[in-house]
Amino acid sequence: MGRIVLENVTKSFGETEVIPPLNLTIEDGEFAVFVGPSGCGKSTLLRLIAGLEDCTSGAIKIDGNDVTKVPPSKRGLAMVFQSYALYPHMTVRKNIAFPLRMAGMDQSDIDARVDQAAKVLNLDAYLDRKPGQLSGGQRQRVAIGRAIVREPAAFLFDEPLSNLDAALRVGMRMEISELHNKLETTMIYVTHDQVEAMTMANKIVVLQAGVIEQVGSPLELYRTPRNKFVAGFIGSPKMNFIEGDAAQKLGAHSVGIRPEHIDVVEANGQWQGTVGVAEHLGSDTFFHIHNTGLAETLTVRAIGDISLTHGDTIHLNPRADEMHRFGADGLRIA
Amino acid sequence: MAIVAQHTKFSKIAWPILAWLVALIFFFPIAYMVMTSFKTDADAVKPEMLFSFTPTLENYANMTENYDYWRFATNSIITSVAATIFTLVVAVPCAYAMAFNPSRGTKDILMWMLSTKMLPAAAVLYPMIFLTKSVGLYDTHFLIVMVLSLINLPIAIWMLFTYFKDIPKDIIEAGQMDGLTTWGEVREILIPLAWGGIASTALLVFIFCWNEAYWTVRLTTTEAATLSKLIEGNRAPEGLFFGRLSAVSTAAVGPIVVLGWFCQKQLVQGLTFGAVK
Ligand SMILES: Nc1ncnc2c1ncn2[C@@H]1O[C@H](COP(=O)(O)OP(=O)(O)OP(=O)(O)O)[C@@H](O)[C@H]1O
Ligand SMILES: [Mg+2]
């Protein structure tokens, strides 16, 4: 079980309020991802849930119990840190066994669970090494191992993959998702990478300056972003925004359209411009287009390889039903 | 290129020579003291006998028979060991709190602690003597242990604080998540990880305690008198007993020099606050 409820939680460091009153519910078994730009308070929120920071006001409940004043060790949560935070003086086996030893479990039970976790995480061969003798990916696996043996009510991850190289990151992303499918335990995952958020989450919580901008499934956020901030943050490459007169003509203060929702046509396009940079990936082509009269640069994603390059004129047809309209206050117009 | 080459050649020869020279200058008084301790009092003052003399153990025999060397030595050991332990028992939790749960005043407290080292000891000498005499603590082991601990606490806390600062806070927090109590954090994480630093600190504090003379000489008479007091006592006003004085001094600094010799590495690390890795 692991249903986590935050009620009017606030956090200030001295005079500066990092989290204004915030309400959030994470259901049991959910994979929730906190995403937002650097410094928006993601880690702070996670640490409040973990108990590593005290709430300035408000309450945190886990499975109905108020844990606001309960120390981290008694909340039944496990955390995986960005820096791995392994105990450097202990072997991998001792690291993974540590929380069980602290819980006073029998040695035979500890051994059984550690072996089980090591098998799941492919760490069998490294159990007698010290963390210093492992690669980054292996260290992260040990940190995850240390978290899963405890069978916690929920897992908390703070940017666990940001110290890994790109290829390894994709692999570990899958492993964590698979782990979630297998354990069906609540997971809260902090990242500033919206791709991680989109690929892993059941529920994405978009934060900006400590305020929740939107909560929803990845596709909800993609299809119906509540405001311009969420629209620009979710999706890669970023959504194009058309402002001013051009937007007025389309019936809004500003209009957003995703690069994949603009079709490249041979001629007589509704819009046209000059290709600035063309990125040919084979499967896709990304065009950065100038002189459209709509925005400084318009990004377009076309399927397959299209042989237009720098300086060429390009014709475009936006899909009218994929346009997002926003009012002067930045909110979505229904 | 030529200049660089010459320069390195010069420094290859000149620096070692300079280092040896400085080392010899520093070492000479100690060598002189040890040599003198094997001379009779009469020989000790004769310049022509500086290096050529007939060695005698008379001074050492005299010291153990007539001056009760072992009692002073025992007191030195008891007070230094007890004070070192007490200092660490207070300083480890204190430095832990300052390193991992700093408050707004932590920096100021650290500076204030250091500033107490600037107070001239002589300024509180008479109050100390009167106070300790009136409460009956004068010349007790307890008093000496307390005084030695208090003198060394600031430096011990500073050293430990610097070592603890090097431990990533994440590891302590991981420990908290894994179910550690505060005492558990100290026992399971802090002490194992900062073991080298704690050992250096202990060693340095022990040496400072052993060498302390200002207070141990003035706050004791017989019961709790340490080796410093023995040396002081042999600085006899009735005449110059250089041989005897040297023997006492050699026997007093001997143990600590030997200890220092064996623990050079820890000492250097301690004195440079871990800057040399
Ligand atoms: N201990 C602290 N004392 C004072 N301010 C803090 C403290 N910890 C965090 N902050 C401030 O709170 C804000 C949120 O920090 P937080 O670490 O939660 O951001 P984040 O979203 O995790 O960012 P990142 O993606 O860079 O990790 C920042 O402006 C930061 O400066
Ligand atoms: Mg963070």
Q: What is the DSSP string of B105-173?
A: THHHHHHHHHHGGGS-GGGGHHHHHHHHHHTT-TT-HHHHHHHHHHHHHHHHHHHHHHHHHTS-HHHHH
| Of the candidates A181, A161, A88, the residue with the CA atom closest to the CA atom of residue A129 | A88
Contact (Cβ atoms closer than 8 angstroms) between residue B72 and residue B134: no
For A205, residues 6+ apart whose C-beta sits below 8 A from its C-beta are: A24, A32, A33, A34, A35, A212, A214, A215
Length of chain B: 277
The closest CB to that of A83, out of B170, B181, B189, belongs to: B170
Ligand nearest to the CA of A52: 1
* Per-residue model confidence (pLDDT) at position B1: 46
Q: Return the residue in B169, B172, B178 with the most chain A beta carbons within 10 A, the one to mutate for interface testing.
A: B178
How far apart CA B149 and CA B85 sit, in angstroms, is: 9
Q: Is residue A271 predicted with pLDDT exceeding 60?
A: yes
Judge whether A103 is closer than 8 Å to chain B, CB to CB.
yes
Token pair belonging to B269: 């690390």
Q: Is residue A217 predicted with pLDDT exceeding 90?
A: yes
Contact (Cβ atoms closer than 8 angstroms) between residue B156 and residue B201: yes
* Per-residue model confidence (pLDDT) at position B262: 86
For A133, residues 6+ apart whose C-beta sits below 8 A from its C-beta are: A126
Q: What is the pLDDT of residues A59-100, one digit of tens each?
A: 999 999 999 999 998 999 999 999 999 999 999 999 999 999
Averaged over successive runs of 10 residues, the pLDDT of chain B (277 residues) comes to: 61 88 92 89 80 85 83 94 97 95 91 88 91 94 96 94 92 94 92 90 93 92 89 70 86 87 76 49
* Per-residue model confidence (pLDDT) at position B232: 84
Query: Which residues of chain B have a Cβ shorter than 8 Å from any chain A Cβ?
Result: 168, 170-171, 173-181, 184, 189, 192-193
* Per-residue model confidence (pLDDT) at position B277: 34
DSSP string, A11-78: EEETTEEEEEEEEEEE-TT-EEEEE-STTSSHHHHHHHHHTSS--SEEEEEETTEE-TTS-GGGTTEE
Angle at B139 between CA B137 and CA B145, to 5 degrees: 75
**Chain center to CA of B219:** 19
Residue B224: inside a domain, yes or no?
yes
Quickly count: other Cβ atoms within 10 Å of residue B154's Cβ.
Answer: 17
* Per-residue model confidence (pLDDT) at position A225: 96
Residue A316 bridge partners (DSSP): A264, A271
* Per-residue model confidence (pLDDT) at position A164: 87
Q: Across all residues in chain A, what is the average pLDDT? A: 94
Q: Which of A10, A15, A18, A54 to mutate to test the pocket of ligand 1 (most atoms within 8 A of CB)?
A: A18
Q: Which residues of B touch A71 (CB under 8 A)?
A: 176
- Domain A4-231: which CATH class? alpha beta
CB of residue A44 inside a 6 A radius of ligand 1: yes
Of the pLDDT bands very low, low, confident and very high (cuts 50, 70, 90), residue A330 is very high
The domain that holds B127 is classified in CATH as: 1.10.3720.10
Burial A16-52 (b: 16+ CB within 10 A, else e): eebbeebebebeebbbbbbbbeeebbbbbbbbbbbbb
Contact (Cβ atoms closer than 8 angstroms) between residue B186 and residue B96: yes
Q: Return the residue in A75, A81, A86, A142 with the most chain B beta carbons within 10 A, the one to mutate for interface testing.
A: A81
The correct answer on CATH 2.40.50.140 for the domain covering A237-326 is: yes
Angle at A73 between CA A67 and CA A78, to 5 degrees: 95
Over residues A271-288, the mean pLDDT reads: 94
Residue B33: inside a domain, yes or no?
no
Residue B235: inside a domain, yes or no?
yes
Of the pLDDT bands very low, low, confident and very high (cuts 50, 70, 90), residue A231 is very high
CB of residue A113 inside a 6 A radius of ligand 1: no
Is B193 close to A146, i.e. CB distance below 8 A?
no
How far apart are the CA of B177 and the nearest CA of chain A, in angstroms? 5
Burial A83-121 (b: 16+ CB within 10 A, else e): bbbbbbbbbbbebbbbbbebeebeeeebeebbeebbebb
Token pair belonging to B228: 């410093």
How far apart are the CA of A43 and the nearest CA of chain B, in angstroms? 13
Residue B122: inside a domain, yes or no?
yes
Rg, C-alpha atoms of chain B: 23
Which residue segment(s) compose the domain that B188 sits in? 60-272
How far apart are the CA of B84 and the nearest CA of chain A, in angstroms? 26
Q: Where are the domains of chain A?
A: 4-231, 237-326
What is the number of structural domains in chain B? 1
Q: Return the residue in A98, A130, A155 with the most chain B beta carbons within 10 A, the one to mutate for interface testing.
A: A98
Residue linked to tokens 């022509």: B48
- Residue B100 CA to ligand 2 centre (angstroms): 19
Q: What is the pLDDT of residues A165-189, one digit of tens each?
A: 888 889 889 999 999 999 999 999 9
Contact (Cβ atoms closer than 8 angstroms) between residue A244 and residue A56: no
